[in-house]
Chains A and B, each alone.
Chain A
Amino acid sequence: MRTTRPGGPVRAANPAGRIGVLAVLVLAAAYSLLPVWWLVVSATKGSSDLFSSNGFWFAGRIEIVHNISTLLGVQDGIYGRWLLNSLLYAVGGAAAATLLSAMAGYVLAKYTFRGREAVFNTVLGAILIPAPLFALPLYLMFSATHLVNTFWAVFIPSIVSPFGVYLSRIYAAAAVPDELLEAGRIDGAGEFRIFRSIALRVLQPSLVTIFLFQFVTIWTNYLLPSLMLASDRLQPVTVGLVAWKEQRGQTVPYNLIITGALLSVVPIVVMFLLLQRYWKAGLTSGSVK
């Protein structure tokens, strides 16, 4: 930290004030990071060290590799299966959701037709209603149609993203010039071809944002898959880990649950770090213009 010299060229900021500011920021950062730090440190511990050593510092032996390999072997490798399930739901669901949203948003932005605003307002309204409220009725509906406990029970709701439609409409309205579409039409391209080869290309940054947010939504979802899936072979990693924790360390020791929690977080944190530019755009999508 630079010290402020009294009488310097720039009006000196109050040093006590600056230290105070820094102190608040450091405290808040500690609050945000300490639990994560605890997770990382705990995942390196063996089951005997886990609770006997200081929670926020490493124990003598670093057991993370051993923990991971044990974790992957537990119950015929069910944890790996859960990770794969999560990946399948999240990547497949987010990709499909992105495409559907892009199509709908593009049409809502670039075509005029009767009922357009009504459709858009309905979609907006759906953003304001929290998804968990739909989970229970959806479960009741799906159980009436025997879809419960299938891959589709989780996958189908995952590919519908009103937020994605909203985002791609805003972005398409601003970023896709009508002249480009008209040029395509003059060249004799069909409407879908124009969408595929022109619009999708221009919309690419917003597609990444939609994909990212839908990926996170699906990866972090718990209520829907825990309602819909009875078979543990179909479950995503969130549901599996909570089930383990509910057994209070009796079937799977705590240190493995903690290692599993850490592993399950890695893909999503990495994705956020790599795609910083895009989540910022998504969070502040009101100003994407």
Chain B
Amino acid sequence: MHPAPTTTTTAPARPTGPAGAAPEPSGPAAAPVPRGRGVDWRRWTPLGFLLPFGALFLITFVAPICYAVHQSLFRLHRSGLGLTPPATVFTGFSNYTDALADDAFTSSVVRVVLIGAVQVPLMLGLALVLALLLDARRTPGKRFFRLAFFLPYAIPGVIGGLMWSFLYQPDVSPIADALAGVGLHVDFTSDGLLPWSVGNILTWGWTGYNMIVIHSALKAIPGELTEAAALDGCTGWRLAWHVKIPLVRPALLMTTVFSIIGTAQLYNEPVVMKAVAPNLSSNWTPIMAAQNEVAANNYHAAATRSVLLALVIFVLSFGFMRFVNKRGAAL
């Protein structure tokens, strides 16, 4: 696991985050220069520039969070025969205890965590292998392969889901046909295979994206470093394992965090899959479960589930980062 001693000190390991979200501002944040020659109105210029974004940010990001938290603490109370309009009453955390006691919701959370626990390592492992292969000097057709792997990312999630749902559809699936030809009878929409089928759509859609992120981190490794290692007789997989992989750790960390976040918000693929898999329950994932409550006009319950899901995502992604950072310090 330990990188060669020469590599650790000079490692430029640039943080490469997908969607640019390094956990801390890694850019040259302290660069701007104060122009403090006191023309007074100039002090208000920043506000003017920030206002359009800031106002909309408040409306579309901050307010929904506050609104959801607020809504989750209340409940509609219908009195008597329902002749009077229902009143909104404060109920503290009872919506939360209800949501946590709701087996359908908790099992949707567990289901998605399990899918992620299998799918994310598989996908990132594949992305890493492909990135390393593309990074190797003698690999032919790099440009073609890179584009081929990336193509699925350019296809919207629901359209990818739509395509795969045809490919899975029991009576017409060309894949099932081909498998039947060799004596394997597979139903991709059966209860047991559904998590795998959905996981496959995710893997198909996102491997290339992660591969590109890891690949560009690999390309940022200075050539002298790998050449020096190669001169010492460290080539091929040993070079990858001892030199390259430790150097792209930040990129792997970021892709993992974003994959965790991405999996937790699983919605599009299973919703589209429902058209070919009627057995896929309408609260299969937490967001689907929350949306169900919206459809049933239980807005308070829906808000509660959104807040709980946000908390789960927060705990998982930040927990993972802390876990890695702690182990990283020990390495």
Contacts and interface: CB of A to CB of B under 8 A. Distances in A.
B262 A130 contact: yes
Contacts of A84: none
Given A24-B133, A112-B32, A29 B149 contact: yes
Contact of B19 (A100, A127, A140, A273): A127
Nearest to B220: A287
A61 interface: no
Q: Which residue of B14, B71, B159, B268 has the most chain A CB atoms within 10 A of its CB atom?
A: B159
- State the main secondary structure of chain B at its contact with A: helix
B131 to A, nearest CB: 11
B272 interface: yes
Give the size range of B's interface with the partner.
35 or more
Interface residues of A, number: 108
B193 interface: no
Q: Which residue of A31, A107, A134, A283 has the most chain B CB atoms within 10 A of its CB atom?
A: A283
A126 B303 CA distance: 18
B65 to A, nearest CB: 7
Interface stretch (B23-31, B106-114, B323-331): B23-31
A109 B175 CA distance: 52
Nearest to B302: A136
Contact of B25 (A42, A121, A261): A121
B149 A32 contact: yes
A162 interface: yes
Contacts of B209: 283
Interface string B294-306: 1000010011001
A71 B223 CA distance: 53
Interface in B10-63: 14-29, 31-36, 42-43, 45-50, 52-54, 56-57, 59-61, 63
Contacts, number: 314
Contacts of A138: 60, 64
- State the main secondary structure of chain A at its contact with B: helix
Contacts of A119: 50, 54
B17 A137 contact: no
Given A1-B140, A21-B136, A268 B204 contact: no
Interface stretch (A62-70, A72-80, A220-228): A220-228
Interface string B269-305: 0011011000000000001001100100001001100
B126 interface: yes
B148 A29 contact: yes
Interface string B151-179: 11011111110111111000111110100
Given A35-B163, A136-B290, 5 more contacts: A38-B163, A42-B166, A163-B19, A163-B20, A286-B22
Task: List 8 A-B pairs, minimum CB-CB distance, nearest first.
Answer: A55-B174, A285-B20, A170-B27, A220-B156, A137-B64, A137-B68, A127-B21, A104-B53
29 contacts: A21-B136, A28-B130, A35-B164, A38-B167, A51-B172, A55-B172, A55-B174, A119-B54, A127-B21, A128-B261, A129-B310, A130-B264, A132-B287, A136-B302, A138-B60, A160-B57, A163-B19, A173-B28, A173-B32, A174-B27, A191-B42, A216-B154, A227-B294, A241-B159, A261-B159, A261-B162, A269-B155, A286-B15, A287-B15
Interface of A: 1, 13, 17-18, 21-22, 24-25, 28-29, 31-33, 35-36, 38-39, 42, 50-51, 54-56, 100-101, 103-104, 106-113, 116-117, 119-121, 123-124, 126-130, 132-134, 136-141, 156-157, 159-160, 162-163, 165-167, 169-170, 173-174, 178, 181-182, 185, 191-192, 195, 213, 216, 219-220, 222-223, 227, 238, 241-242, 245-246, 248, 254, 257-258, 261, 264-265, 268-269, 272-273, 280, 282-289
